Amino acid sequence: MRFLIEETFKAPPTAEVQALVPAEQARVKELTEQGLIAAVYIAADQSRAWALWNVDSEAALEEAHNSLPLHPHMNSEITVLAEEA
């Protein structure tokens, strides 16, 4: 299944939240290497990000997505994408 997730911060990031960015980047790299994340795009002003996920199920998406260090600090809009023909 393919999903597009749009992420925005729930509140302006504090220094504590900003300190999580390197761990977030490392986890995204791991998920990308595992083939779960196909692409990540970040707005030029860093106000939001989009990630294209390829997972077996919504449960697999939830498990992997919840493993991101910034997840508790983000609003996530999840869109199920049509399968490619």
| CB neighbours of residue 24 within 10 Å | 17
Asked if residues 64 and 22 have their Cβ atoms less than 8 Å apart, the reply is no
Please tell me the total count of domains within the chain. 1
Q: What integer is the mean pLDDT of 71-75? A: 97
Q: What is the CATH number of the domain that holds 44?
A: 3.30.70.1060
Strand partners, 77: 6
Residue 43, H or E segment: none
Q: Which letter does DSSP use for residue 72 in this model?
A: G
pTM to 2 decimal places: 0.91
Kindly tell me if the per-residue pLDDT of 85 is higher than 90: no
C-beta neighbour count of 21 within 10 angstroms: 13
What are the tens digits of pLDDT across the range 18-62? 999 999 999 999 999 999 999 999 999 988 999 999 999 999 999
- Its domain, for residue 53, covers 2-81
